Amino acid sequence: MATQKSTRPPAPAAERPHPDATRRSQRSRQAIYDAALALVGEVGYPKTTIEGIAARAGVGKQTIYRWWSSKADVLLEAFLDLGEQAAGQEAYAIPDTGDLAADLKAVLRATVDELRDPRFETPSRALAAEGVVNEQLGREFVAKLLEPSLQLYVDRLRAAQEAGQVRPDIDPRIALELFVSPLAQRWLQHTGPFSHAYTDTLVDYALHGLAPR
């Protein structure tokens, strides 16, 4: 996949029939991102309207419709932009102390905390929900937000395989789902409590299996 990372806009979906992107107002773009995230946080996703975003951003509605195809699309890019801005600070990787179980538990505990941060929770939920029903957006959501994070688990598990802590015939992309997916489902669907104890348990079960040894 050839990415055109030389031009600055952070991957503008490319499929939509864009007007001249070089004339685009960065000022408006940022104002729209800010307004969208703020509104979703304040009144929730369903009550966030394009008109509302435009008004709050001090922007004409057409400026939104010119560059995005839907409310969900705006929010997705706003969220991606938020992530990019945050990206500089964090070194996004799973620690490798040699103790796989401890490393996974630490990361999952951190994830639990992050998912509880209301700053992220409302827009994430909104996007996830929209992705469930709108396949195109869902795939974009997964590709741009989910997969990059999951890849970190793949890397860590492969390192564990080389260190002999994970069976060599295991597919890491599937293995990671044993603890990531349960966490995701509890968060998304409220199917159960959402705690550090829970994620610790998941890691233990996943690593050692349910069957007696």
Partner DNA sequence: CGTTAAGCGAGACGGTACGTCCGGTCTTTTT
Partner DNA sequence: AAAAAGACCGGACGTACCGTCTCGCTTAACG
Residues of this chain that interact with its own copies (CB under 8 A) are 44-46, 125-126, 128-133, 135, 138-139, 141-142, 146-147, 150, 157, 164-167, 170-171, 173-175, 177-178, 181-182, 184-186, 188-192, 198, 201-202, 205-213
Whole-angstrom distance, CA of residue 4 vs CA of residue 2: 7
How many residues sit in the footprint of DNA (CB under 7 A)? 26
Token pair, residue 36, equals 């969208």
Cα 177 to Cα 124, 151, 161, 165, 184, distances in angstroms: 19, 12, 16, 17, 9
The CB-of-77 to its own copies minimum distance in angstroms stands at 19
How far, in Å, CA of 161 to CA of 170, rounded? 8
**Six-digit token string for 123:** 């827009």
Closer residue to its own copies, CB minimum distance, 7 or 136: 136
Among 63, 111, 134, 149, binds DNA (CB under 7 A): 63
Q: Which of the 8 DSSP states describes residue 92?
A: -
Span from 53-61, 98-106, 150-158, 173-181 in contact with DNA (CB under 7 A): 53-61
- Please give the DSSP secondary-structure letter assigned to residue 19: -
Cα(115)–Cα(188) distance, integer angstroms: 10
Using CA atoms, how far apart are residues 149 and 80, in angstroms rounded to an integer?
A: 13
Q: Which of 10, 58, 98, 209 binds DNA (CB under 7 A)?
A: 58
Q: Among DNA, its own copies, none, what does residue 195 contact (CB within 5–8 Å per kind)?
A: none
Binding site for DNA (CB under 7 A): 19-20, 22-25, 27-29, 31, 47, 49-52, 58-63, 65-67, 70-71
